[in-house]
Structure 1
Amino acid sequence: MLRFASDPTKDMHIGDLRVAIFNYIVARQRGERFVVRIEDIDRTRDVEGKDREILEILHLFGLHPSDVYYQSHNLTIHQHMAIKLLEAREAFACFCTPEALEAEREAAEADGKTYRYGGTCERLTDAEVLANENPFTVRLKKPEKAVEFDDLLQGRRSFSPDEIDSFVIMRADKSPTPDFACAVDDMIHDISLVIRDEDRIGHTPREIHIRDRLGYDKRVEYAHLPPILDETGGKISEGENAFGVKRLVERGFLPEAIANYLIRLGNETPREIFTLEEAIEWFDLKRLSETPAKFDLDELRLLNREHMRRSDPKELSRAFGFADDAVGDLVKQYLEEGSTIEELRPKIEAIFAAKPFEGEWREPMEKLRDVLKNAPLFETFDELEKHLVKETGLEGENLLQPLRLLLTGAQKGPDLSKLYPHLKSYLQEIVK
């Protein structure tokens, strides 16, 4: 089973979406279940409906989970596992106050050393623990030897006992830390492969150590994805709105184009344009580059244009408030002038909006409008043009420029002969 673990206290950004897409693809390739885990164990942070937004985004991108569960629902199991470790002497109660630990950390930094827990409470006797009425956390003892694992992208990784340290697995309020909850939940749900961002790689040896101490002997594979960089070469932050998935969709990028781009990013693909379903046939996680990939908005725009061109006309028209093949095909005529729905919407809205009759073209526009109101429906633009020449006496630029303004509300644009087949059924509404 593969999972997408999501923090419901922040907006989903493209790095999160890439992780979800890869987990979904590999789960489909392996014939395994794909589940979504909402990591809501931090009681100090407000979810504010972000969990629903996360699920809506996944649905929008066609990433349909087999199941959705909330980490907080496993709290009793987390606590039971912590008790098991305490009973086995693999973990211990730590009464060190946050202030004392911070003082130790500052002292280590002042000496130019990496802070490690000093082991103050590790050697307390049962009697000393029972006699202490102060709040306590639960710490897992550091491993006796290095924790090693094979990353599918980064190869063999090794972390020494000191790097892992004796770390907290249960907070003073008796809620689990993210590392402990994650490790236990992956056991509960029989996760076979964890695909996530590279910045989580330091947590992996802790999770492995937790499962080892609990006697879990199933091998869990890992693949840590290199970061996505912004246009300046800096690492994309989860707080950057420009790279939020919701914001990209609002700007008019199609979900299929965004998915196409993220699958191609730092990857070798057999072709440039493809769907998620097509990618499932050939995607190979091990072929991903180990180096960071730079997010290129211009490249995404080009992909978006191609996906709009290939999209079902009726479905495309829905983004503009219609459900009509003709309007979808009309939008496609403007793809040389824009690459996103956000860019093209004003052009389509202008066609169906009231037009100002002013300036040098006012009189010919009025004349054309009067003729068009009573004109029969012509199949081709040539037939329409001949009719207008005959009825108005206008020709050449004196006909085409005011006609363009009347039909599209713009002085420039695609050839009217290409627009007309998609406009003709709305002609009376446009010139009313």
Structure 2
Amino acid sequence: MLRFAPSPTGDMHIGNLRAAVFNYIISKQKKEKFLIRIEDTDFARNIADKDKEILSILNLFGLLWDDLVYQSNNFSKHQQFANFLIKKGRAFYCYCTKEFLESKKQEAIEKKIPFRYDDSWAELQKEQNPKPVVRLRCQEKKMSFDDEIKGHIEFESNELDSFVILRDDGIPTYNFACAIDDMLYDISFIVRGEDHVSNTPKQMMIQKYLDYHKKIKYAHLPIILGEDGKKMSKRDASSSVQYLLSEGFLPQAILNYLIGMGNKTPTEVFDLKEAIEWFDITHIAKSPVKFDLKRLRYLNREHFKRLNESDFALLLGTTDLSIGGLAKLFLQEASTLNEIRTKIDLIFSPKDIYKLYENQDFSKECQMLFATLKTMLANKDYAKSDYEEFKKDAMEQSGLKGKMFFKPLRILLTGDSHGLELDMLFVFIRMHLQKIVMIVE
């Protein structure tokens, strides 16, 4: 089984989504189940309903799970395993206060040496501290594992000290809960961010001490850099999946982009189903990858091109095929749903003829042409006419010519003085002219 283990403490980051996608793909390739494990043990930081938002996003991206569990439901099992380790002498109670440990850390800083917990401190403050934590007893051995992306990784014995597995309130720490749950659900392969590399030997040690010897494969994904070349943080708007969706990026385009980041792909544009056929986690680059919004915009436009007019119209909240066709036409100058919606809304909104267009006042000509078009539309149905017929009638009846005709015509039809060719647009707007020819009174 493969798993994705999000925490309901903040928005879904694109790095998290990337890990979810890869775990899902590998589960399909290996024909194993895909588990969602909500890691909700940090009660102080959990955000109400954030788990539902995460699940909604996964569903939107087609990452459908076979099982869903909440880590907090396994607290009793975590505590049972901790008791087992204590009885075996593989874990112990530590009565050190936070103040005592902080003083030891300061001593290490002053001596310019790495801070390392000393097992002999465990009971020094037993009388002062009635609420001990539980620590796993560190083994004095080098640890290593083979990462599917990064290769062989080793940890020296002095890099691991006896670490906390149960807090003083009985709540399991991240590494302890994670290691046990991976055992309980028979996880075979874990894909996650490289910030978890240092957690891996701890989790391996926990499982070994619990006499669990199944070999789990690991792949740690390089970090994603912002466009400024620095590590992308949650403060970067583009790092939020919800933000990208709200900006009008398609889920399939975001997936395409995340799968292709630092990867060798046989084709430039693809969907999730296609990626399952050829994806290979070992082809992911070891080095960090920079988030490229321009690249995402390009892929978004390419996925819009794959849509038919009916599906495009539905994205815009209508079943009108002409709107879908209009949207596809605007792909020449727009790449997100929001940009396309803005252009279409401008067409169907009252036009402001009194503002300056290209530093020029066309209000007088717009008023003249507006009156002409109202009369024309009252006397004739142009729903099946071509642009040349409509243009000829408008020019003859208004008496306007050249720039003083075409600029006002474009303003009245599109709300702007430049853009796509009117003969191309007219095919899709001719049946809506009565709604389109409006001005701000």
Structure-1-length-normalised TM-score: 0.94
- Give the superposition deviation at 1:378: 1.9
1:142 alignment partner, one of 138, 155, 162: 138
Task: Verify the 8 A CA contact 2:149 2:282 in the aligned structure 1.
Answer: yes
Flag as ranges the 4+ runs of structure 1 deviating above 4 A: 121-124, 389-399
Deviation of the 1:389 alpha carbon? 4.6
Mapping of residues 19-418 of structure 1, within 5 Å = 19-121=19-121, 134-358=130-354, 359-361=363-365, 362-376=367-381, 377-389=383-395, 391-392=397-398, 394=400, 396-418=402-424
Count of equivalent residues: 428
Q: Given that residues 165 and 175 in structure 2 are in contact (C-alpha distance below 8 angstroms), is that contact kept between their aligned partners in structure 1?
A: yes
Which amino acid in 2 is paired with 1:384? F
Q: What are the superposed Cα offsets for residues 264-293 of structure 1, whole Å, 9 maximum, x if unpaired?
A: 110111111111111111111101111111
* Matched position secondary structure for 1:120: helix
Structure 1 gaps, min length 5? none
Output the amino acid matched with 1:407: L
Q: Which deviates more, 183-192 or 62-71?
A: 62-71
Distance 2:316 2:350 in 1: 17
Aligned to 2:14: 14
Partner Cα distance (2:321, 2:79) in 1:
57
Deviation, structure 1 residue 18 = 0.8
By how many angstroms is 1:46 displaced? 3.1
Instruction: Give the match's secondary structure for 1:6.
Output: coil
- Stretch moving more, 388-397 or 163-172: 388-397
Whether the 8 Å contact between 1:368 and 1:403 is mirrored in structure 2 is: no
Contact 2:253–2:300 (Cα < 8 Å) also in 1: yes
Work out the CA distance in 1 between the residues paired with 2:105 and 2:196.
Answer: 22
Letter of the 2:185 partner, please give it.
Answer: H
Distance in 1 (CA, whole Å) between partners of 2:237 and 2:397 is 55
Q: Which moved more, 1:165-174 or 1:255-264?
A: 255-264
Asked if the contact 1:92/1:121 (under 8 Å) is kept, the reply is no
Pick which of 165-174 and 19-28 moved more: 19-28
The Cα of 1:29 is off from its aligned counterpart by 1.1
Q: Which amino acid aligns with 1:107?
A: E
Of 333-342 and 77-86, more deviation after overlay is shown by: 333-342
How far residue 300 of structure 1 moved from its aligned partner, in angstroms, is 1.2
Is 1:419 the equivalent of 2:415?
no
Of residues 215-224 and 158-167 in structure 1, the stretch that sits farther from structure 2 once superposed is 158-167
CA contact (8 A) 1:3 1:23 kept: yes
Q: Distance in 1 between the 2:40 and 2:274 partners?
A: 34
1:392 to partner: Cα distance: 4.6
**8 Å Cα contact 1:8-1:38 kept in structure 2:** yes
Q: Deviations over 1:174-215 (max 9, x none)?
A: 010000000000011111101000011000000000000001
The aligned amino acid for 2:38 is I
CA shift in 2, pair 1:166/1:236, >3 Å: same
